[in-house]
Amino acid sequence: MGIVTVGSENSAPIELYYEDQGSGPAVVLLSGWPLDSRSWEPQVHQLLEAGHRVIAIDRRGFGQSSHPLGGYDFDTLAADLDKVLTEIDVHEATLVGFSLGTGEVARYIGTYGTNRLKACVFIESLAPSFVKSTDNPNGVDQAGVDGVREAILADRPAWLTGLLADFLNLDDYLGHRVSEETVRSLWGAGNDASPWATWACVVTWLDDFAEDIDRIDIPTLILHGTADRILSIDGQGRRLHAALPDAKYVEIEGGPHVMCVTHAPEVNRELLTFLRETADVVAAA
């Protein structure tokens, strides 16, 4: 484990927790909201076995990182990520984001470029934009954001139970692809998050990443589940692929939002294949 100080609030430092395990080509994992790095458990073992250095980061407000009141915007979250990568001096890394973490991937590249990276991965992407529009009728608007924030304030634990039902498509997969114990574990991770951070991050759904993804100049993998009830495949995965036509694009049949858990074998297969392919490209260069 490690700690990087990224700022301060009143009398306390703002510290980010990360785990840095293994050796070999670096893979940096950025989790989705309102979860933390524990949600990558189905991927970490496979990545380590394949000979990768795995760096999993808890963003501010979540997991074992500090829980400040400020900084829940993508500019600050990307700056936090840059400080971690600079502090531990990571190079030639593959940056992997899931859901809200894809916003951090996009904004990090849009702001800091790709000097430290050799590839990036978007799993259930917010980019190019989650905002409701004619191109994205399943997106979110200000009223939708306000409704989610009100539900969090009204009864966050109960709201979290309903959220996980849609994250995991439990009506289809409970007892088949996901156990009750795993659901409880994910609920615990979400419940452990800062209530303020959980509420504050919802506003980031209205960000636009068009300018950020224009700066992506490294091999890119886009993975999206066909049954995602949160970020629709038409509005998100397919639109991102249209914006990045040279990216490798894979649809996981039946994959819900948290398909890294329910469809871990399929996700791991595609992720490890992409990592091998990019390693071959770098070696040839």
pLDDT at 283 over 60: no
- For the question of residue 257 being annotated catalytic, the response is yes
Amino acid 1: pLDDT? 79
Angle at which helix 74-87 crosses helix 100-112, to 10 degrees, equals 70
Sequence-distant (≥ 6) Cβ neighbours of residue 187 within 8 angstroms: 160, 161, 164
Separation of alpha carbons 262 and 227, rounded Å? 12
Tens digit of each residue's pLDDT (9 = 90 or more) over 269-278? 999 999 999 9
- Give the sheet arrangement for strand 53-57, strand by strand: 2-9, 12-21, 53-57, 26-30, 93-99, 117-125, 220-225, 248-252
| CA distances in angstroms from 77 to 7, 61, 74, 81, 83, listed in the order given | 12, 11, 5, 6, 10
Residue-averaged pLDDT of the chain: 97
Amino acid 281: pLDDT? 59
Separation of alpha carbons 239 and 73, rounded Å? 23
CB 110 within 8 A of CB 208: no
From the list 228, 232, 241, 263, the catalytic residue is: 228
- For the question of residue 228 being annotated catalytic, the response is yes
Tens digit of each residue's pLDDT (9 = 90 or more) over 30-39? 999 999 999 9
Tens digit of each residue's pLDDT (9 = 90 or more) over 138-181? 999 999 999 999 999 999 999 999 999 999 999 999 999 999 99
Q: Which CATH number is 2-284's, of 3.40.50.1820, 3.30.300.180, 3.30.70.100, 3.40.1500.10?
A: 3.40.50.1820
Query: What residues does each domain of the chain span?
Result: 2-284
Tens digit of each residue's pLDDT (9 = 90 or more) over 11-60? 999 999 999 999 999 999 999 999 999 999 999 999 999 999 999 999 99
Q: Look at residue 93 and give its three-state secondary structure.
A: strand
Tens digit of each residue's pLDDT (9 = 90 or more) over 197-242? 999 999 999 999 999 999 999 999 999 999 999 999 999 999 999 9
Tens digit of each residue's pLDDT (9 = 90 or more) over 246-282? 999 999 999 999 999 999 999 999 999 999 999 865 5
From the list 66, 99, 125, 129, the catalytic residue is: 99
pLDDT at 284 over 60: no
